[in-house]
């Protein structure tokens, strides 16, 4: 193997790569990004998340279900209410980085003429 002799060189396991790809795929939706960004501010309910994301509570619930299954958010029940929060701070770091890069000019891009 070509890279065998390089000290410290390693590749992640296939299962780890698939899990990471699944998690990143969950971020590929504007509503989910809005929901996760809102959750970066703290724990909140579906109703509040729907208002912040500009969509219906039903739609937010469906997104939250997928995000929870992907391990990106957790929830807790308090009486009749369910509150959601980010699963860990790495989710916030990843989202901040993605939004930072989305706002940066692309390498080689030209600025439109005025």
pTM check: above 0.95: no
Count of residues making up the chain: 114
**How would you write the pLDDT of the chain (114 residues) with one tens digit per residue?**
677 778 888 889 999 999 889 888 988 999 999 999 999 999 999 999 999 999 999 999 999 999 999 889 999 999 999 999 999 899 899 899 989 988 877 655 554 444
How far apart are alpha carbons 75 and 66 in whole angstroms?
12
Q: Specify the residue for token string 């279900």.
A: 65
């Amino acid at each position: 193997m070509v890279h065998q002799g390089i000290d410290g060189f390693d590749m992640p396991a296939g299962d780890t790569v698939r899990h990471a790809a699944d998690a990143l795929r969950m971020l590929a939706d504007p509503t989910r990004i809005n929901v996760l960004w809102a959750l970066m501010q703290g724990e909140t309910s579906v109703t509040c998340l729907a208002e912040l994301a500009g969509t219906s509570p039903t739609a937010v619930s469906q997104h939250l279900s997928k995000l929870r299954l992907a391990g990106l958010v957790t929830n807790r029940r308090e009486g009749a209410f369910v509150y959601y929060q980010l699963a860990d701070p790495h989710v916030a770091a990843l989202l901040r980085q993605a939004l930072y890069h989305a706002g940066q000019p692309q390498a080689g891009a030209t600025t439109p003429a005025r």
